Amino acid sequence: MSRPRGVYEDPTAAASIDPDGSADGLHVAIIMDGNGRWAKERGLPRALGHREGVAALRRTVEGAAALGISRLTVFGFSTENWRRPPREVSELMGLLKAYFRSDIDRLERDGVRVRIVGRRTGLDADILDIVERAERRTAANHRFVLQVAFNYGGQADIVDAARAFADQVERGIARPEDLTEGLFESLLSTAPAPAPDLIIRTSGEQRLSNFLLWECAYAELVFQEVYWPDYGPDHLRAALDEFGRRERRYGAVSDVPNAEDNILAAG
C-alpha cells in the first residue's frame, strides 16, 4: 500500500495514485551493493561486476510490478562515488547511458515512468540529455516508476533543499516560520514521490551510506546476503516476505491495546 509522500501529514493514509503518477503499490528502494566483490571473487575486473549489475537491474525491474511494487528507487551513483578511480567513474557513467539507450523503448512500452533523482549539476551534458529525454518520453506512464538516484547523496539533497528554502526567504517568498517537515521534503529532489516503504541493501553490508536520509524515517530496512549482480525477482520476493512480517507503527502503538491499557481505560 503506498502512502502520500509526507509521513508527517498522515502516515497511515493510503493513496490510490501517487502525486507524480504511479499506481497504488509499494515503494521499494535498493542499494545495489557488491558488484566489485562479485567480480573479484571471479578474478574479473570491477567493470564486469557493474555490467552484470545492469543485467540484475533489468531482471529486478521486470519482476517488481508482479510483486506489488509500483515504485523502485535504485542507488546508481552517489555523490561520494566521484572518489573512485576515473576509469570506474567513467564506466558507471557509460553504463547509465547505455542502459537508457538500450532499454528506453521497452520501458516506455511497459508503462514505466523514469525519474532521475539527485544533483543534475556536475553531470556531463550528454548524460543529462539522455536521462532527461528518458524522463520526457515516459512522463505519461503510470504503471510503474523507476527512480534512479544518480549523483545523489542524502546529505547533499538536504543541503540543496535548505539552500532552496533560504533562497525563498531571501527573496521574500517565505518566512522562516513557514518551514514545516512537509514543505521541506517538497524541496528534496525525490519530491513528490512518497517515502520508501522498504529499503534493501545487498551484499551483507548493513548501513545506509547516505541514501534517502530524510525519506528513510519510517522505512523498513532489509539486508540481504547476495551480491547485486546475482540479484533478481526471487531475492526481491524474499525481501518482501521479510517486510510483510514487520509491524509498522509510525511512532504510534499497535491497533490491539494490551491488557494494561484495557485496565487503565476501564478504570
**Residues forming the active site:** 33, 81
Question: What would the x/- binding string for ligand FPP be over residues 211 to 250, using CB under 6 A?
Answer: -----------------x----------------------
SS3 track for the chain:
CCCCCCCCCCCCCCCCECCCCCECCEEEEEECCCHHHHHHHCCCCHHHHHHHHHHHHHHHHHHHHHHCEEEEEEEEEECCHHHCCHHHHHHHHHHHHHHHHHHHHHHHHCCEEEEEECCCCCCCHHHHHHHHHHHHHCCCCCCEEEEEEEEECHHHHHHHHHHHHHHHHHCCCCCHHHCCHHHHHHCCCCCCCCCCCEEEEECCCCCCCCCCCCHHHHCEEEEECCCHHHCCHHHHHHHHHHHHCCCCCCCCCCCCCCHHHHHHHHC
Q: Nearer to ligand FPP by C-beta: 165 or 224?
A: 224
Site for ligand FPP contains 81 (CB under 6 A):
yes
Q: How many residues of this chain interact with ligand FPP, rule: CB under 6 A?
A: 20
Residue 32 binding ligand FPP, by CB under 6 A: yes
Please, which residue, 58 or 142, has the CB nearer to ligand FPP? 58
Binder of ligand FPP out of 6, 72, 79, 99 (CB under 6 A) = 99
- In the window 137-166, what residues touch ligand FPP (CB under 6 A)? 148
The CB-nearest residue to ligand FPP is: 36
35 binds ligand FPP (CB under 6 A): yes
Q: Candidates 16-24, 35-43, 125-133, 192-200 — which segment interacts with ligand FPP by CB under 6 A?
A: 35-43
Q: Which residues bind ligand FPP (CB under 6 A)?
A: 32-37, 50, 53-54, 57, 74, 76, 81, 92, 95-96, 99, 148, 203, 228
